[in-house]
Amino acid sequence: MSTSGLPLMLRARFKKTAVFLLIFMLLTGAARAQSADDTASVKSLMTTLNSYNSKFTSEKIYLHFDKPYYSAGDTIWFKAYLLNAANRKASAFSNKMYIDLVNDSSQVLQSLVIPITVGLGYGDIKLPEKMHQGAYTLRAYTNWQQNFGAASFFQQRFYIGKPDNNSWLLSEQHQAVNTPAGKQIKLAMQLKNMRGLAVVNEPVTVRILEGRRGIAKSDLQTTVDGRLNTDLTLPPNTNIRKLSLLLISKQDKNKTLRLPFYPNTGTDMDLQFMPEGGSLVAGLYNKIGFKAIGEDGLGVEVSGVIVNGKNEEVATFASLHKGMGNFVMSPQPGETYKAKVKLPDGSEKSYLLPVPQTLGISLRADAISDKDNIRIYITTTPDLANQHGYTLLARGRDTVYFGTAFNFTDGYYNTLVSKSWFPGGIINFMVLGAGNKPLNSRSVFVNRHDDLHITTAPSKTVYAFNDSVAVNLNVTDSKLDPVMANFSVTVTDDAQVNNSHRLTHINSHLLLASELKGNIEDADWYFDITRPDAPKALDNLLLTQGWQGFNLSKALITPVPQPAFWAEADNSVTGRLTNFFNKPAVNYPVTLMSKRNGLMVVDTLTNTEGRFTFKNLPFTDTIAYFIKVHNKRDKEAAVGFEVQEFKPASPTPPDSTLLMPWNVNTDATLLQYLKNTQKRVEDSQLPPGVNGKLLNQVNIKANKKASLPGFGGEEVYFADVDVDEKEMGNHGNMSLLEYMEKYVPGFHSGPYKGYADFLWVKGIITANIIIDNMPVTPYWERMGTLADFMKRMLDNIPAAAVKNLVVYHKCLGKVWISYIVVKTRTGNGPILKPTPGTYVYRPLPLYLPRDFYRPRYDVKVKAPQPDLRSTIHWQPNVVTDASGNATFSFYAAGKPSTYSVVIEGTDMQGHFGVSTSKITIAQNAGDGKKQAP
């Protein structure tokens, strides 16, 4: 458009306006381009993260146990739920679950492999009668879960008791007073035996240990009423959290009792402060979470004030639940702050807050005040307000649900995020800066209130002794519509089982405990709808403990790396074949054979990568597969095998936290359970899950003979090791050498008086190895040491191929020597060389669970023996029909009591249900029929 005809002033104004419009268009165009670029960048980031999540979809495991504690000789009954972390539906990744019972020395004592069908499985662990009492951990995991580390495994820690007639029952009280010389402890104890009688005039040594180091000691003698009283002083700077109390009988050194010891003066409380979003920023409005922890590692209630460097009060605080709470403040630049707390002894203690940052961003997320939305408040210091390229992400359950690019306006960015966008559970909000660098993180809990509602209706109000009990079950969803779902049911005797000791249930574990690191005290409490403060307390928990580990840099690697551990989605055998040049052997015929339950022969061909797979093989408790490779002319091929073999997860380091033994300040319920378990073991009474009649106990005074004869055919007594095929079969293709190095005490190789290496067992040289009655030393060609040769012999034999292993020692003249005697399943003797083109694959045997023992009583006939069951009924597979109904039944025991009925389960669509109800058993129950209203 020409301006030549316009007046000069108008022409000048037009030019200025045109320049302004041009600048405005350029700026708004740049802003739109910037916005479009930011949006595209966020979409690309979300796509990349979700691509990673889809390849590394995690699993969640929950085990429902029949009761919260156990004793030696009892049986642990459990139901396993294996769900996809993203949608809480049945996991399609794994059809096997590995269950380990691990002691506090990180030794795996028992292992099971249970089959998983549509995300469900169940099993049992019979605890040995002769096991040591102490703390044990039951862990459950899949091979796929090993990609995410041991923190993703399900783990439950128990103290397993083993009462006997020599056990002490200890009642202990103490007082602690701070003195200039250290803490003075006034101990008052009383010892009783299992019959409740005082331990009279028994000399006892009492020690206080810091870790393993003794720091205080007193030699005492019990009084006529079994009491012990003493004063002990702890040295200054004692680490209170590492203390334990040890009692040792001077009459019997094997009679000891060790328990965690917490002086509980209140002065050793640890108070931690966690700013919301991760940073305490000067000049900004900050919410700060706090958690007070006592000497025992558990939360303690606390209150106090926050003061600045001038001792001026700027805020107050008080915990809401388990020592956790929050307060708000606006810290000033260059200022320092501390919390002043009143301690139980009347003294005051100060705790420093984090130093405020001069630059930074504050992230606040409020999921409490608005029932429909999550309110997000992001503020920044002026220096960062003009920067661009910020991203807000919302993620959880292996999914990024929400992402937006934003810039600060006047130093803040606020937004509402609808709760309807998210499933129930923990949602994490993260602020990213330039280069997708994480700046802030905050987790909140979204409660969809979509739990399953379970109602139980016993057929009677009161039942008689040995009566048949029938319970009707009805399940509805949050809209009261009927639900088809799968449940596990346990019925326990309240006189023996205190269900308040249960640490978690299916809902609180899968939605909360499995998502957070560290210990959560009483996770069920946060899901109790009768507690109005539960949502706020749960938010405080996430403020102080909800730091989710998510490695963005790892997730952004392209291409997405291959998982180190494969998913066992079906029962298959997979491997890779290579030729002499270590290249893939393509289109090679591979045959798999098994003689279990008849001959099975399956053929396949290797692919272009030399890989072969035999899918959908039958499940069985024990099996061995023989794999044979042929070349294209149907002749045996000498090729290399790489068969995928499951490798058990390494035991994690033992938990340093001591559990309180069963016989310290024991409540009557637990003591009654332990006494009944002891009596059932001693009387050889029929235990749950065992069908048939037990024979009367026979006392055999002769020494037990080992399974295998010795080197010269002699009978072997006092064997150092005597292992059967059941134990060996639990270790798959682990070599016999690996097994002995791991499980045989004192087995190693080393020199003798400067000579070459030998094999040793408990300090005695191994003279020979006998495999299927054939000594191996004649095959030694003096190449390398004898120890190396023997180790090669042992390394050639898979542990699962061993039928019996015996290690023993004997004296020849004045010299002690040891022998290793092996009997293999094949009986073919020593394996000098592996056969080319063949491979024997022995997967770990699957455990087939036992049926829970259900006695059948005639109410009119008195039972010949007292019914000492603590678990009255266990039914791991109760399924509701299309109307939401199901029924289960059992027989009551022959004594008055109340029973707790605990029901847990899921509809396999991400919804869970928990129910606890009571049933009464009375001697004079009448007909017990319900009366019409």
300 and 428, same domain (yes or no): yes
305 and 205, same domain (yes or no): no
Closest CA to 77 of 853, 932, 675, 861: 853
Over 50: is that where the pLDDT of 706 sits?
Answer: yes
- Between these two residues, 267 and 469, which has the higher pLDDT value? 469
pLDDT at 691: 42
Residue 643 to residue 778: CA distance in whole angstroms: 33
Over 90: is that where the pLDDT of 554 sits?
Answer: no
Over 80: is that where the pLDDT of 558 sits?
Answer: no
Residue 475 forms part of a structural domain: no
Residue 493 to residue 474: CA distance in whole angstroms: 23
Q: List Cα–Cα distances, 422 to 374, 417, 587, 753, in angstroms.
A: 11, 10, 49, 70
Place of tokens 């939401």: 884
Instruction: Give 633's pLDDT tier (boundaries 50, 70, 90).
Output: low
Percent above pLDDT 70 for the chain = 88
pLDDT at 291: 95
339 and 436, same domain (yes or no): yes
Question: Which residues constitute the domain of residue 354?
Answer: 274-446
Residue 96 to residue 141: CA distance in whole angstroms: 9
306 and 221, same domain (yes or no): no
Per-residue pLDDT reduced to its tens digit, 777-824: 877 766 678 888 888 889 888 888 888 999 999 888 778 899 999 998
Per residue, what are the HEC states of 202-218? CEEEEEEEECCEEEEEE
Residue 803 to residue 707: CA distance in whole angstroms: 10
CATH number at residue 200: 2.60.40.1930
pLDDT at 622: 61
Residue 687 to residue 685: CA distance in whole angstroms: 6
740 and 619, same domain (yes or no): no
- Residue ending a domain, among 820, 841, 862, is 841
Helix (H/G/I), strand (E/B), else coil: 279: coil
Spell out the alpha helix ranges (H) of 452-600.
506-511, 534-545, 552-555
249 and 285, same domain (yes or no): no
pLDDT at 695: 37
**Range 42-67 average pLDDT:** 91
Place of tokens 């009668």: 129
Helix (H/G/I), strand (E/B), else coil: 295: coil
Residue 904 to residue 507: CA distance in whole angstroms: 9
302 and 360, same domain (yes or no): yes
**Range 206-233 average pLDDT:** 94
Over 50: is that where the pLDDT of 686 sits?
Answer: no
Half-sphere exposure of 607 (CA within 13 A, CB side): 7
pLDDT at 634: 52
Instruction: Give 927's pLDDT tier (boundaries 50, 70, 90).
Output: low
407 and 350, same domain (yes or no): yes
Per-residue pLDDT reduced to its tens digit, 90-142: 999 999 999 999 998 888 888 899 999 999 999 999 998 888 889 999 999 99
Residue 341 forms part of a structural domain: yes
Most confident segment among 18-27, 341-350, 693-702, 818-827: 818-827
Residue 644 to residue 641: CA distance in whole angstroms: 10
- Residue ending a domain, among 590, 610, 643, is 643
pLDDT at 604: 92
pLDDT at 884: 97
**Range 759-774 average pLDDT:** 89
Per-residue pLDDT reduced to its tens digit, 461-482: 999 998 999 999 999 999 999 9
| Range from 1-15, 81-95, 870-884 carrying the lowest mean pLDDT | 1-15
Over 80: is that where the pLDDT of 547 sits?
Answer: no
Residue 274 to residue 325: CA distance in whole angstroms: 10
Q: What is the CA radius of gyration of the chain?
A: 34
CB contact at 8 A, 498 and 902: no
Residue 349 forms part of a structural domain: yes
216 and 347, same domain (yes or no): no
Average pLDDT score over the chain:
85
Residues 861, 863, 869, 873, Cα dihedral to 10°: -30
385 and 281, same domain (yes or no): yes
pLDDT at 838: 75
Residue 16 forms part of a structural domain: yes
339 and 374, same domain (yes or no): yes
Half-sphere exposure of 930 (CA within 13 A, CB side): 8
Instruction: Give 24's pLDDT tier (boundaries 50, 70, 90).
Output: very low
pLDDT at 500: 87
Over 70: is that where the pLDDT of 407 sits?
Answer: yes
Token pair listed for 390: 């910020």
Residue 893 to residue 871: CA distance in whole angstroms: 10
Number of domains in the chain: 5
Q: Return the H-helix or E-strand segment holding 32.
A: helix 8-55
Residue 505 forms part of a structural domain: no
- Residue ending a domain, among 811, 841, 871, is 841
Token pair listed for 16: 């200025």
Residue 291 forms part of a structural domain: yes
789 and 818, same domain (yes or no): yes
**Range 434-451 average pLDDT:** 92
CATH number at residue 749: 2.170.130
pLDDT at 621: 63
Global pTM value = 0.82
Residues in the chain: 933
Residue 215 forms part of a structural domain: yes
Residue 97 forms part of a structural domain: no
